[in-house]
Chains A and B, each alone.
Chain A
Amino acid sequence: MKTLKFIGYLLTLPVILLLWWWVATSGEPNFFVPTPAKLAETFVNTWISERLFTDVLPSVTRLALGVLAAIVLGIALGLAVGLNRTLRALTEPVFEFFRALPPPVLVPVLMLLVGINDGMKIAVIISGCIWPVLLNTIEGVRSIDPVQNETSRSYGISGFNQIRYQILPAATPTIMAGVRQCLSIGLILMVISEMFASSSGLGFSIVQFQRSFAVPEMWSGIVVLGLIGVALSFIFQWCERRVLRWYHGLKEVEHAV
């Protein structure tokens, strides 16, 4: 019953939208908007083919590598900065500057510095994704309850053990909020990084379809992007629920009181 209800909620709105789209396109054929059936057919023909391995998988791999690297680097740097007052004062204005830069403008710069290769595309993704994780980690570490820190100190929990057993778990709720932002930025940058000087990938393919007026194919590429976004969101939620089970329970108890 519970699963049935869940599936109901999950599918109701997509089904309504699909019906609406179907009704709207069932009259005169429109060059720019394909019918659902046409799009489904194009989707299968275009993506369930060699493209899956030549375009989709490489893109998704770069996205995964970029996002993971951004998360690891962001947390490591964030811990270092968050735990050190001097480092914090020193880096904060600089971080604000770099964070304000829109990552797409870095693409040409990175092309020159890194070269035109996978490394450049991953670097673009990292350059945009690292900020929410980094800044949230700093904030999460900085706002740890002083009683928790005193508890650790009084029990001789210090150094690496303190980071592992106390600081990192305590900052995790804030860090996870940063990771969530980082995922959506990553998807955007994955596409953008493939729009310049690229010969394969999802972003490249979509731009290619646009330029050759392959309208249904272009739409089907957008659907692929949307599906990747949904998959990322589900993976994130699944991880978050495991990692932060205690946090959601705690909040529930606090709100009940």
Chain B
Amino acid sequence: MQSDTSTTAPQGDGVTASRGRTLPDGEALLSVRNLKKVYRTDGGDIEAVRNLTFDLGRGELVCLVGPSGSGKTTLLKCIAGLMGTTDGEVRLDGQKVTGPPKKMAVVFQEYGRSLFPWLRVADNVELPLKNASIPKAERKRLVAEALEAVGLAHVPRSYPWQLSGGMQQRVAIARAVAYQPEVLLMDEPFAAVDAQTRADLEDLIRSVWKKLGVTVLFVTHDIDESIYLGERVIILSSSPTVVQEDIVIDLPAERDQLETRSLPRFTELRHHVYAEIQRAKQGHRPAEAAGVVTE
């Protein structure tokens, strides 16, 4: 099915991109192959993403981390089917993504603008289900469960703008969870909330992920967050983006804000990712340093 992509040819400008971990055919739930995105503007072309290849297995929780301006949001929008790719492809469960797929939900950074202010909390969560013509009783159950899961069972009749920022992002997460996606994409969802709320929300994501067995791709610029949350971290280079490194986070499955973050291994990983990001910022590109990455 994807055998044609297994031999990654050198790119046009002679740089062979590094690539993330790939899985054998049919095993990956989400696969990104040689994804390239060039914005055509009046002032010339801007190459946001050069060449990205990686796979997500079913049930994984992967964080994408990279320096600011490394095309993280662009990449996520391409994966979500909200934006077309210039080259390469994204496949969900073997199906090529050409528009927003049914089994995918996105949580945006701008929760205040992504929730509909004219709908109450429960109605916001319910809307995608209503649109999908799910029977009413089923809808009510899913909404109640999702609100329960994010700890908002007590405010279904409030409007989103009556809630704090952290609670609003919980509503957005509940909306995504109720939609029962196979893949949950999150675009720097906690960038706009304060540090304490952020810690709570991180733990919420871990618990939702464990409870529901959903596959999560979490984009962040925060190194600590990526290590604390992820089972795997994909480090992106600076723009034009390639995969700088794809590392497994071998921390215990039970994460705790205090204990996990004070583990020596956490510090090691943090050092490692930090150093990689610094190198990325300085313009280091994996293929140029390590020669050619071959299959």
Q: Is the interface of A mostly helix, strand, loop or mixed?
A: helix
0/1 interface trace, chain A 85-100, chain B, CB 8 Å (1 if under): 0000000000000000
- When distances are taken between beta carbons in the complex, the residues of chain B under 8 Å from A156 are 100, 102, 128, 131-132
- When distances are taken between beta carbons in the complex, the residues of chain B under 8 Å from A166 are 116
Interface residues of B in 93-111 (CB under 8 A from A): 99-100, 102, 104-106, 108, 110
Interface Cβ pair total, 8 Å cutoff? 69
Partner of A253, one of B100, B128, B131, B161: B161
Shortest distance between the CB of B53 and any CB in chain A (Å): 23
Q: Knowing A150-B82, A249-B159, A253-B161 touch, does A157 contact B128 (C-beta < 8 A)?
A: yes
Residue in A147, A172, A247 whose Cβ sees the most chain B Cβ within 10 Å: A147
Is residue B228 within 8 Å, beta carbon to beta carbon, of the partner chain? no
Q: Knowing A249-B161, A250-B161 touch, does A153 contact B100 (C-beta < 8 A)?
A: yes
Docked complex Cα distance between A172 and B99 (Å)? 28
Shortest distance between the CB of A205 and any CB in chain B (Å): 43
- When distances are taken between beta carbons in the complex, the residues of chain B under 8 Å from A254 are 161
0/1 interface trace, chain B 112-141, chain A, CB 8 Å (1 if under): 011011110000000110111000000000
Docked complex Cα distance between A153 and B128 (Å)? 10
Is residue B30 within 8 Å, beta carbon to beta carbon, of the partner chain? no
Partner of A246, one of B99, B117, B127: B117
Interface residues on A, range: 20 to 34
Interface residues of A in 130-160 (CB under 8 A from B): 145, 147-148, 150-151, 153-157
Interface residues on B, range: 20 to 34
Is residue A199 within 8 Å, beta carbon to beta carbon, of the partner chain? no
Is residue A165 within 8 Å, beta carbon to beta carbon, of the partner chain? yes
B131 lies within 8 A of A165 (CB)? yes
- When distances are taken between beta carbons in the complex, the residues of chain B under 8 Å from A151 are 106, 108, 114, 116
A148 lies within 8 A of B105 (CB)? no
- When distances are taken between beta carbons in the complex, the residues of chain A under 8 Å from B113 are 145, 147-148
Interface residues of B in 162-181 (CB under 8 A from A): 162, 175, 179
A169 lies within 8 A of B104 (CB)? no
B82 lies within 8 A of A155 (CB)? no
- When distances are taken between beta carbons in the complex, the residues of chain B under 8 Å from A170 are 116, 118
Q: Knowing A148-B113, A165-B131, A247-B117 touch, does A155 contact B161 (C-beta < 8 A)?
A: no
Shortest distance between the CB of A15 and any CB in chain B (Å): 40
Docked complex Cα distance between A169 and B118 (Å)? 7
Docked complex Cα distance between A19 and B131 (Å)? 60
A155 lies within 8 A of B118 (CB)? no
On B, residues with C-beta under 8 Å from A are 77, 80-82, 99-100, 102, 104-106, 108, 110, 113-114, 116-119, 127-128, 130-132, 159, 161-162, 175, 179
20 contacts between A and B (CB under 8 A): A147-B110, A147-B114, A150-B77, A151-B108, A153-B100, A154-B80, A154-B82, A154-B105, A155-B100, A155-B105, A155-B127, A156-B102, A156-B128, A157-B131, A165-B131, A169-B116, A170-B116, A247-B117, A249-B159, A249-B162
7 cross-chain pairs, A with B, having the tightest CB-CB distances, nearest first? A155-B128, A147-B113, A154-B106, A169-B118, A246-B118, A157-B131, A154-B100
